[in-house]
Amino acid sequence: MPIKHGLTYPIRTSLTLTTNIIKQASPLTIPYHHILQSKSQRSPKMATRRIISQEKTLLDQPDPNSLSSSSPAQKSNITPAVPSAVIFKLLAFTLAMMVVPIGSYFATVNTLFKGNSTYAGGLAAIMANVVLIGYVLVAMAEDQSDRLEEEKKQKQEGKKDR
């Protein structure tokens, strides 16, 4: 495949070029210096990997999920990743997020606001925000208490090591 000045053609590994063509090429063309290298000097291209006879293939390797006779059976850990207190707090605030705004609307629409649903709806929105802010504050306090407990444990371990 001939190479014209200023034009580029797809690179083929079987294509042999001389250094004169590279010198004549414009700066926008693809550099062909790696094609001119001998096969031993070339960097390895994307190719399939050869399987060494001593190496096990994917099918020959043991299944990590199956119980093997050489390893003892380990007891499964079924404890939840999140403490149950956190789950109960989340469920309580979820229930409060549904009940408090709707309850405040229906409790105040006819009693406090005398049928004005706009004011009752506004109060319901405010109550939803109060529940949300309450959840954020409880979560931040819990995070701080966890951090303080960890610092106390580290201090106690530091005193024991001395």
pLDDT for 5: 56
Task: Return per-residue pLDDT of the chain as tens, 162 residues.
Answer: 555 555 555 554 444 444 455 555 555 555 555 555 555 555 555 556 665 666 666 777 776 666 555 555 677 888 778 888 899 999 999 999 999 999 999 999 999 999 999 999 999 999 999 999 999 999 999 888 888 888 888 888 877 766
pLDDT for 131: 98
**Among 34, 54, 32, residue whose Cα is nearest residue 44:** 34
pTM attached to this predicted model: 0.48
Burial label, 128 (beta-carbon count in 10 A; 0-12, 13-18, 19+): middle
- How many CB atoms sit inside 10 A of residue 123's CB? 18
- Angle value at C-alpha 131, between 113 and 119, nearest 5 degrees: 15
Is-contact 124 98, C-beta < 8 A? no
